[in-house]
Amino acid sequence: MEFFLQVFVSGLLTGLMYSLVAIGFVLIYKASGVFNFAQGSMVLAAALTFVSFHEMGLGFAVSIVLTLVVMVLLGILVERVALRHLVNASLITLFMATVGLASIVEGLAQFVWGGEVHGLDLGIPDDALAIMGSFTVSTFDLFAAGIAAVLVTGLALFFNKTRTGLYLRSIADSPVAALSVGVPMSRMLAVVWATAGIVALVAGMLWGARLGVQFTLSVVALKALPVFVLGGFTSITGAIIGGLLIGAVQNLGEIYIGSIIGWGLQNWIPYAFALLVLLIRPSGLFGEKTVVRV
Amino acid sequence: MIEANEPVTALLAVNNIEVVYDSVILAVKGVSLTVPERGIVALLGANGAGKSSTLKAISRIITTERGEITKGHITFQGQDITNESPFHLVRGGLIQVLEGRFVFPHLTVEENLLVPAYVRKVARSQVRQELERIYAYFPRLKERRTSQAGYTSGGEQQMVAIGRALMARPALILLDEPSMGLAPQIVEEIFEIVQDLNRKEAVSFLVAEQNTAVALRYADFGSILERGRVVMSGNAAELSANEEVKEAYLGMSGKGPMSFRETKRYHLRKRQFAYRLA
Ligand SMILES: Nc1ncnc2c1ncn2[C@@H]1O[C@H](COP(=O)(O)OP(=O)(O)O)[C@@H](O)[C@H]1O
Ligand SMILES: [Mg+2]
């Protein structure tokens, strides 16, 4: 029982780490209907930028603020340089633009920072906190879960309590209607990309601390993709629940089924699970029902 | 009655515009029309005549459908707005209510109304007052203010769309087919409100309608479009009284609606027939 709990809970917590990346997907998808292939690269770019500032001798807080500024500028730049010129482009064109962006960001990162692994110490201990008998929880995972909670609360407040948040929800609902009533569309796209950049920073810090800041960091996007799909593409709550579910299923599957049919399950179980759920609920767990016009 | 060469004292003047989609589809072929200050002008015509294209060309929403104005120009309050952005037009007092209403379905009725208020940067202390101004015209919206707009009735959605446009404090509303899919008495209710807004708030309207009878009853002037061209325009009362309009658009020929062109041919044949008899 304690072992089961151990596997289950650590799965949930790992899943939340995927959710952090999936939330970035959700933000961009909701605003523009595009899957942002570059979210993983943005996570990497954020972590690298932070580490660089920090290694230059700047303090922790200063480095975070500067990285924040860089990510927001990146968001604005993406809108100015690419999206503004692709206003009427098809979704596949926009998707290809995000693929291009991913290569540019990664190439640039490699050029500026080289290929070696940078350590990232957030000063959060990774101790095993005994909960019950042999069942322990990692203090770092708990910290990450707390950060995820703060991030989600912050986003909820932003979307539901601010004027910009209402603009963004109106664009998600009907871009043409938003345009027709004068919502500043390009500025809002920049805001969304900047927000996705901030989310990438949070994910980048936590994943960087976990794995070290290196180029494989952008691969966490592959883990977050099934979470995004499972959660229903457009819901932040969905991304959180989806992450928890996928984390748990992946861990339990690997331990209890993997021991029978061999290891290596963690790479495909999330996808298989997401597909299975999609067969039953085609719009994902929290996909928006299309509201019927009466 | 508005003459074709009316001077530019008009609120909106559309001068001989051509609208092309995808660089090849010519949808509007040289349309001119004028909306006077505080006027209600009806843009009439059958499905596919080019009414929506004309309105979207004016509001510039056409650009999102790969459409462009390839000829002519548009002035609003004396300024050339042929290449303006929708964002600036809304701020300048010109707003469109799209065909099919396009409410924000997952936002509440009240949130729908708030979006343009924020565009206009209404102060927090003023927001309530602005909402009440709209609710005074649409009491039903006040009752349903916390409902998701997508779950309200068609008539209520039309009210949301008009109320929302009104929140931008426009001088001119381009209203595209408000009657679409609504029961006759709801259509009447909507047009009553349009008339009320016109009188009390000094809002001018350019209304695209297939429902010629209702539109002409509330409008001051009308233009009839056929295949992207204005085939007739004038005073609403005169248009309603016109025999050809009656036959082609008001279903008074006893033969159901015909196009203007068909009506002309019909008259020609009738005359030729009478000639032969004589
Ligand atoms: N987005 C578009 N792309 C291509 N053709 C269009 C588009 N919208 C309208 N059209 C064409 O333009 C013509 C006029 O359409 P429209 O302006 O919608 O007429 P109405 O509003 O009077 O029904 C039609 O032939 C229609 O097929
Ligand atoms: Mg139309």
- Within a domain: residue A274? no
Is there a contact between B61 and B226 (Cβ–Cβ < 8 Å)? no
Confidence at residue B246, expressed as pLDDT on a 0 to 100 scale: 82
Residue A85 lies in a domain: yes
Superfamily of domain B10-241: P-loop containing nucleotide triphosphate hydrolases (3.40.50.300)
Name the more confident of A255 and B178: B178
Average pLDDT, stretch A43-48?
Answer: 92
Which pLDDT score is estimated for B9? 66
> How many residues are listed for chain B in this entry?
278
Which has more pLDDT, A34 or B43?
A: B43
Are B107 and A169 in contact (CB < 8 Å)? Answer: yes
Tokens of B186: 């709801």
Best of B51, B52, B68, B96 for a ligand 1 pocket test (most atoms within 8 Å of beta carbon) = B52
Considering only CA atoms, which residue is closest to atom 1 of ligand 1?
Answer: B65
Which residue range(s) make up the domain with A21? 15-218
Q: What is the DSSP letter of B63?
A: G
| Segment B193-212 mean pLDDT | 96
Confirm whether A281 is domain-assigned.
no
For residue A206 the two structure tokens come to 């936590």
Percent of chain A with pLDDT over 90: 47
- Range of B186-190, B259-263, B264-268 with top mean pLDDT: B186-190
Q: How confident is the model at residue B147 (pLDDT cuts 50, 70, 90)?
A: very high
Pocket around ligand 1 at a 6 A CB cut-off:
B 21-22, 25, 27, 45, 47-53, 65
Helical pair A236-252 and A269-280, crossing angle rounded to 10 deg: 130
* Ligand sitting nearest the alpha carbon of B56: 1
Classify residue A186: in a domain, yes or no. Answer: yes
Residue A233 DSSP symbol: S
Instruction: Name every residue whose Cβ is closer than 8 Å to that of residue B24 and which is 6 or more positions away in sequence.
Output: none
Phi, psi of B32 (to 5 degrees): -125, 140
Contact present, B171 and B93 (Cβ < 8 Å): yes
Residues of chain B with CATH 3.40.50.300: 10-241
Q: What is the mean pLDDT of residues B12-28?
A: 96
Structural tokens at position A43 = 């996570």
CA distances (Å), origin A100, targets A41, A82, A97, A131, A226: 11, 10, 5, 46, 22
* CA dist B88 → A68, A85, A182, B114, B154 (Å): 31, 19, 7, 18, 29
Biggest CA-to-CA distance, chain A: 61
Give A230's contacts (C-beta < 8 A, 6+ positions apart). A238, A242, A245, A246, A273, A274, A277, A278, A284, A285
Q: Which residues of B touch A88 (CB under 8 A)?
A: 63-64, 66
Distance of CA B25 to the CA centre of its chain: 22
Q: Do B87 and A182 touch (CB under 8 A)?
A: yes
pLDDT over threshold 70, residue B277:
no
Three-state SS at A128: strand
Q: Which two tokens stand for residue A173?
A: 């609902």
Q: What residues of A are in the B interface, CB distance below 8 Å?
A: 87-88, 163, 166-167, 169-170, 172-185, 288, 291-294
In testing the pocket of ligand 1, which one of B21, B28, B65 has its CB within 8 Å of the most ligand atoms? B21
pLDDT for residue B131 is more than 80: yes
The residue whose C-alpha atom lies closest to atom 24 belonging to ligand 1 is B48
Give the number of other CB atoms < 10 A from CB of residue B54: 29
- Is residue A228 within 8 A of residue A278, CB to CB? The reply is no
Average pLDDT, chain A: 88
Average of per-residue pLDDT across B64-83: 94
Domain count, chain A: 1
Average pLDDT score over residue span B181-189: 95
Confidence of residue B274 (pLDDT cuts 50, 70, 90): very low
Own/partner contacts of A129-133, CB < 8 Å, gap of 24 or more, are A131/A5, A132/A2, A132/A5, A133/A2
In this prediction, residue A219 has a pLDDT band, given cuts at 50, 70 and 90, of confident
Q: Is residue A60 part of a domain?
A: yes
Predicted local confidence at residue A278, as pLDDT: 85
Query: How confident is the model at residue B46, as a pLDDT?
Result: 93
Interchain CB distance below 8 Å, B115 and A184: no
For residue range A83-129, list pLDDT tens digits in order: 877 777 888 888 899 999 999 988 888 888 777 888 888 888 888 88
**What confidence score (pLDDT) does residue B269 get?**
56
Three-state DSSP class for residue B221: strand
- Higher per-residue pLDDT: A113 or B223: B223
Per DSSP bridges, beta strands A135-138 and B40-44 are: unpaired
* pTM of this structure: 0.88
The verdict on a CB contact (< 8 Å) between A167 and B115 is yes
Which residue owns the Cα nearest ligand 1 atom 25? B48
Residue nearest to atom 3 of ligand 1 (CA): B21
Tokens of B45: 């015509």
Number of cross-chain residue pairs from A and B with Cβ atoms under 8 Å apart: 96
Q: How far is CA A140 from CA A10, A219, A243, A248, in A?
A: 11, 21, 17, 18
**Best of A88, A174, A176, A181 to mutate (most B CBs within 10 Å, chain B):** A181
The answer to the question of residue A25 being in a domain is yes
Give a yes or no: residue A243 inside a domain. Answer: no
Instruction: List Cα–Cα distances, A61 to A13, A122, A153, A213, B172, in angstroms.
Output: 26, 11, 21, 18, 51
Taking the C-alpha atoms of residue A279 and residue A281, their distance in angstroms, rounded to an integer, is: 6
Length of chain A: 294
Contact B102 A293 (CB under 8 A): no
Number of H helices and number of E strands within chain A?
12, 2
For A70, other C-beta atoms within 10 Å of its C-beta total 18
SS3 B84: coil
B267 pLDDT band, cuts 50/70/90, is low
Contact B87 A185 (CB under 8 A): yes
What is the distance between the alpha carbons of residues A280 and A282, in angstroms, rounded to a whole number? 6
